[in-house]
Amino acid sequence: MATEQGPICVPFPKPRSLKIQTPFGDLNSVVDISKGPPTDCTLIHGLMLQLSPALVSMECFLRLLKFVSVIKDLASTPPLDAVPKIIGAASDLGECILSIGKIPKMIIDILKLIIAYLKCIIEAVRSILAFQAGINLGDAEDNPAVSLSFDCAQNNAAASTAQLREALEAIQPLLDVFKSLLSVAGTTLPGPAQDATKIIPDIVDTLKLVLSGGGATVGVPGTQDTIQTLDDLKNTLEQLQDSLDPLS
């Protein structure tokens, strides 16, 4: 005889953050919001994808270490043997010095990527707001099965919000390193790119405020204000993107 079964809700997993320590800072696992709730395996995969380009980026640093090592060993190396080693190490290092001029272009491309990333986060936040707004707690009255399902759905929405806050943490380290890169290159960014580096942190702070509950909460009149704030942020990002496109 069939028995009545209430709605089923599967709680989202809570994976453990991972990191790899490098001479230039830590590589941290990043939540990929485009693939739904993360798992330990998706975080490991994301970190693996970061590792290869990070090792490639260390190539010039390793060439510099090689050059310093050759100079350091001059005292114990016969002059005739030292010359070809110095020339070879200097030649390898020279390729890295010539590539420094590409740093502003790289920063502009990273800014455009950050803008696209923030637009994805904004869309995800809007989806969570719409989902929470659609939960009618009145339907759960006198129905324990439905009530448990609603509780699970709200917990999953809260978990998604926490994951989005974590996803935002990946942006600030990128912005912080721009000043060091420009200092090494001895150059400055074009005006639109400078504007982007100043505006993006404010947008990130606003998103953090919304995700932390500092903005309007679902179920009260201020919800629509929060959605309008998200739309305004998205419009600002699109304007920044339009200003950066001619610079690439």
> Residue 113 — pLDDT band, cuts 50, 70, 90?
confident
The pLDDT score that the predictor gives to residue 17 is 72
> Residue 216 — pLDDT band, cuts 50, 70, 90?
very low
Helix (H) or strand (E) holding 20: strand 19-22
Q: Is the dihedral of CA 137, 142, 147, 150 positive or negative?
A: negative
79-107: pLDDT as tens digits:
666 777 777 777 777 777 767 777 888 88
The arithmetic mean of pLDDT across residues 42-50, rounded, is: 74
**What's the mean per-residue pLDDT of the chain?**
76
Q: Is the pLDDT of residue 234 over 90?
A: yes
> Residue 77 — pLDDT band, cuts 50, 70, 90?
low
Q: Is the pLDDT of residue 197 over 80?
A: yes
Q: Which of 3-7, 8-12, 50-54, 191-195 has the lowest mean pLDDT?
A: 3-7
Rounded CA gap, 133 and 123, in Å?
A: 15
Q: What are the respective helix, strand and coil percentages of the chain, to the nearest 5? A: 75, 5, 25
What percent of the chain has a predicted confidence (pLDDT) above 90? 15
4-15: pLDDT as tens digits:
555 566 666 676
Phi-psi region of 144 (alpha: psi -120 to 50; beta: other; left: phi over 0): alpha
Contact predicate 200/173, CB 8 Å:
no
The pLDDT score that the predictor gives to residue 143 is 61
| Contacts for 163 with CB less than 8 Å, ≥ 6 apart | 31, 33, 37, 38
**Model confidence, pTM:** 0.65
Rounded CA gap, 37 and 111, in Å?
A: 26
Query: Taking the domains of the chain in order of start, what are their residue ranges?
Result: 101-247
Q: Is the pLDDT of residue 208 over 70?
A: yes
The pLDDT score that the predictor gives to residue 75 is 67
The pLDDT score that the predictor gives to residue 46 is 75
The pLDDT score that the predictor gives to residue 147 is 65
Q: Report which of 157, 241, 238 is spatially closest to residue 192, judged by C-alpha positions.
A: 241
Rounded CA gap, 236 and 244, in Å?
A: 13
The arithmetic mean of pLDDT across residues 69-75, rounded, is: 73
Instruction: Give phi and psi for 19, each to the nearest 5.
Output: -155, 155
Q: Report which of 154, 72, 53, 66 is spatially closest to residue 110, judged by C-alpha positions.
A: 53
Q: Is the pLDDT of residue 194 over 80?
A: yes
The pLDDT score that the predictor gives to residue 13 is 66
Contact predicate 115/107, CB 8 Å:
no
Q: Which of 50-54, 170-174, 223-227 has the lowest mean pLDDT?
A: 50-54
